[in-house]
């Protein structure tokens, strides 16, 4: 890795870790925003925080190949879990809009918290287990504790990521279309529907921010490789910062919570 990319990556990752820690603390402490949506945001932020921290501390620990492979396996799992939690969020947004139960659908008998956790954490684990059993040597290289790109093993990560991005794009677009129809025909739930529309736009921004960087990584070839590498590094390292901006700083209730001590 070029020295400039190394510096950008590490500085951006440290900033992201601080922002993710602030987001996690906000979701846990700010009661005004504790609902089904922040529950999913919380798990996403925890997974991304752990992934970023492990990446910062262990991605270059290649002296011990066994330990390096284990680090790569955990990174594979944690980054996948981020995307599966985004898929959970997109599905829940669609179900809430379809059933016109913006607030209470999550707590109904149809959806249990344990089911969401099983999906958000179980499916990434299944992908990693299958990948490790098919090609165990795909974890860790001589340069980085990450997935082997030369053998195509990287697609055990990029494949599910691309699929989730496509599914989320369809679901969130469909959700916006349904919202548009309901806003035209329903008056009693207009404020709740508008809140859900805002959540949907934030989910679209989130999938773009987290997914865009990995898609850029695919195109690090030919004459554009250097430019794509810088874009990938900058966007990827600042993901936590973008998430804190979207879900905390652009939330009026959270801003009120954060500014309350200063005004007291």
| 49-75 confidence digits (pLDDT tens) | 999 999 999 999 999 999 999 999 999
pLDDT at 110 over 60: no
At 163, list the tokens: 């699929």
Band of residue 172 on the pLDDT scale cut at 50, 70, 90: confident
CB-CB neighbours of 57 under 10 Å: 11
106: pLDDT strictly greater than 50: no
Cβ atoms within 10 Å of 185's Cβ, excluding its own: 7
Average pLDDT, whole number, for the chain?
84
Residue bearing the bigger pLDDT, 179 or 111:
179
Given this model, what pLDDT does residue 200 score? 79
Residue 92: which of 38, 158, 29 has the closest Cα?
38
pLDDT value at position 122? Answer: 97
Per-residue DSSP letter, 151: T
Q: With 60 as the cut, is the pLDDT of residue 86 above it?
A: yes
Has domain 3-263 been given CATH number 1.20.1730.10? no
Assign 147 to helix, strand or coil.
strand
Residue % of the chain over a pLDDT of 90: 43
Q: What's the mean pLDDT in 180-196?
A: 62
Given a contact cutoff of 8 angstroms between Cβ atoms, the answer to whether 70 and 52 are in contact is no
The domains of the chain are located at 3-263
Q: How confident is the model at residue 108 (pLDDT cuts 50, 70, 90)?
A: very low
Does the pLDDT of residue 47 top 90, yes or no?
Answer: yes
Alpha helices by DSSP H, listed for the chain, are 3-29, 36-58, 65-99, 113-117, 123-134, 155-185, 190-218, 225-237, 239-244, 252-263
Burial 64-103 (b: 16+ CB within 10 A, else e): eeeebbebbbbbbbbbbbbbbbbbbbbbbbbbbbeeebbe
Which of 169, 160, 172 lies closest to 83, judged by CA?
Answer: 160
Judge whether residue 139 has pLDDT over 80.
yes
| Cα angle 161, 115, 246; round to 5 | 50
The pLDDT of residue 160 is: 95
Digit-coded pLDDT (tens) for 238-248: 889 999 998 88
262: confidence class by pLDDT, cuts 50, 70, 90: low
Q: Does 264 score more than 60 pLDDT?
A: no
User: Is 139 in a helix, a strand, or coil?
Assistant: strand
Rounded Cα distance between 46 and 77, Å, is 13
Work out the pLDDT band at 261, boundaries 50, 70, 90.
low
State yes or no: pLDDT of 80 exceeds 80. Answer: yes
pLDDT of residue 25 exceeding 90, the answer is yes
């Amino acid at each position: 890795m070029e020295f400039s990319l190394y510096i950008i990556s590490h500085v951006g990752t440290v900033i992201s870790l601080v922002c993710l820690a602030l987001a996690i603390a906000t979701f846990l402490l700010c009661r005004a925003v504790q609902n089904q949506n922040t529950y999913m945001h919380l798990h996403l932020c925890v997974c991304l925080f752990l992934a970023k921290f492990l990446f910062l501390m262990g991605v270059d620990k290649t002296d011990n190949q066994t330990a390096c492979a284990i680090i790569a396996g955990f990174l594979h799992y944690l980054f996948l879990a981020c995307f599966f939690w985004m898929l959970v969020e997109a599905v829940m947004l669609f179900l809430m809009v379809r059933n016109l139960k913006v607030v209470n659908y999550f707590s109904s008998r149809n959806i249990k918290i344990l089911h969401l956790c099983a999906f958000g954490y179980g499916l990434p684990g299944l992908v990693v287990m299958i990948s490790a059993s098919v090609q165990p040597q795909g974890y860790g290289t001589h340069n980085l504790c990450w997935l082997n790109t030369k053998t195509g093993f990287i697609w055990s990560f990029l494949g599910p990521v691309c699929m989730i991005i496509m599914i989320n794009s369809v679901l969130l677009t469909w959700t916006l279309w349904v919202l548009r129809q309901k806003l035209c025909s329903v008056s009693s739930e207009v404020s709740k529907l508008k809140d859900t529309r805002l959540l949907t736009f934030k989910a679209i921004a989130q999938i773009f921010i987290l997914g865009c960087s990995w898609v850029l990584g695919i195109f690090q070839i030919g004459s554009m490789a250097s430019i794509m590498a810088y874009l990938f590094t900058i966007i990827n390292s600042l993901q936590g910062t973008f998430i804190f901006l979207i879900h905390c700083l652009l939330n009026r209730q959270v801003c009120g919570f954060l500014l309350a001590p200063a005004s007291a």
